[in-house]
Structure 1
């Protein structure tokens, strides 16, 4: 069964590589252009999808200019289902859009496996209303199989300028064990991690093509690297617009 887990993961990743490279490339180019033109790149997700923000943000080999919309309420830190309730709550995303001052020509990447809850949909709508561009990482199959929980009746994929399919199945979990009703091995986390790194690396390549050195964090756990990230942390970390 361990081999099956690896096979399941590889199957999803190969499908993403085969079907989503164009969308990933477009996302990378959009983010690079935003950075080059002094606009802001935000990333957010709720529940387990918040890990996409963490995958982008403040880690070795990652772009230093990423601004996460990563409040505690959207994570699993305080309670395992708190974020599940809050992501269905209308009005919360607008508060964050106002707080972070998302504005014209910014780019907002939103991760939501189902793409059906109020928070990711409202975040996308509010961002677009302010002239920002929206990238979605979502499961197209799951979205198409479930009803929206937002008053608009839309899913995240209906709003985003670029939709990257994580190629997951309905319910996310992809392996069925004999004698167990619930499926196991959710694939969205492993898929999202690869998508994030593909976007980040391609984005850096586009920035370099413009003759600009992209700010990239190094590991603080390597000898002599303790001070290398200081400038980036001072300039970019959780930056709020004036």
Structure 2
């Protein structure tokens, strides 16, 4: 572990004393431990927003472009996951429909309206989570701004250090949302330097960010139960009673979640 004067996310390079994979595992644990420990208050603040959505019968919308679209898929229709989740999934902004094109589009302005078309946002009940590791691309920033202008509270998972390191004009994601959960990942999202002539390798933002996402959802479900509500959670399809249980909750939400 690092000494108290150096955080894990500042001691990314120089792990040559360990084999490549072991170096990655150690550094990943350190970043994950740092993020989980230091973002407890932010997760709780975000859970306070989310529990209102759950209690009111609203939806948590989740958007990310590029690799960050996996956050929306992770939380949606998930065994052990919250029922009241609607992913914002538009193929041109995801990897499978063209990775190079999706990267170009997320760096352009003016696509937020197209991304959000077809979703029914209710500012009295819903909230949104926007995920962007770098936090500087126009698309996630503009999606957050657009949804916020509609009256929805907006949460983010992002890396403040990455965002602050990029020399680009315009607001960062963490500047425009209501609650920021920092993933504590380094600029460039790679933990291990294997050789001075090679780019660093070993991305961390998905592993750390998904842990923060599921922590947020579980925390919101726990708060809902504490406040007299009953969290709605999907069962794994192979568990006893799962079919009837899942079909019942899907029937309630299929009109407002287009991906069901």
Provide TM-score, normalisation by structure 2: 0.86
Corresponding residue of 2:228:
211
Please say if residues 121 and 156 of structure 1, whose CA atoms lie closer than 8 Å, have aligned partners that are also in contact: yes
Corresponding residue of 2:6:
none
In structure 2, which of residues 154, 163, 167 is the aligned counterpart of residue 134 of structure 1? 154
| Cα distance in 2 for residues equivalent to 1:147 and 1:64 | 39
Q: Whose Rg is larger?
A: 2
| Cα distance in 2 for residues equivalent to 1:192 and 1:201 | 14
Structure 1 residue 75, shift from structure 2 partner: 1.4
Corresponding residue of 2:209:
192
Q: Give the 4+ runs in structure 1 shifted more than 4 A.
A: none
In structure 2, which of residues 185, 195, 209 is the aligned counterpart of residue 178 of structure 1? 195
Corresponding residue of 1:236:
253
Corresponding residue of 2:145:
125
| Cα distance in 1 for residues equivalent to 2:202 and 2:62 | 25
Q: Does 1:163 align with 2:180?
A: yes
Structure 1 residue 239, shift from structure 2 partner: 2.1
| Cα distance in 2 for residues equivalent to 1:74 and 1:24 | 27
In structure 1, which of residues 73, 82, 90 is the aligned counterpart of residue 109 of structure 2? 90
In structure 2, which of residues 129, 132, 152 is the aligned counterpart of residue 112 of structure 1? 132
**CA distances 1:26-68 after superposition (whole Å, capped 9, x unpaired):** 1111111122123332111000011111121111110011011
Structure 1 residue 98, shift from structure 2 partner: 4.4
Aligned residue pairs total: 238
| Cα distance in 1 for residues equivalent to 2:45 and 2:136 | 24
Listed as ranges, the gaps of 5+ residues in structure 1 are none
Please say if residues 220 and 226 of structure 1, whose CA atoms lie closer than 8 Å, have aligned partners that are also in contact: yes
Structure 1 residue 96, shift from structure 2 partner: 3.3
Please say if residues 116 and 147 of structure 1, whose CA atoms lie closer than 8 Å, have aligned partners that are also in contact: no
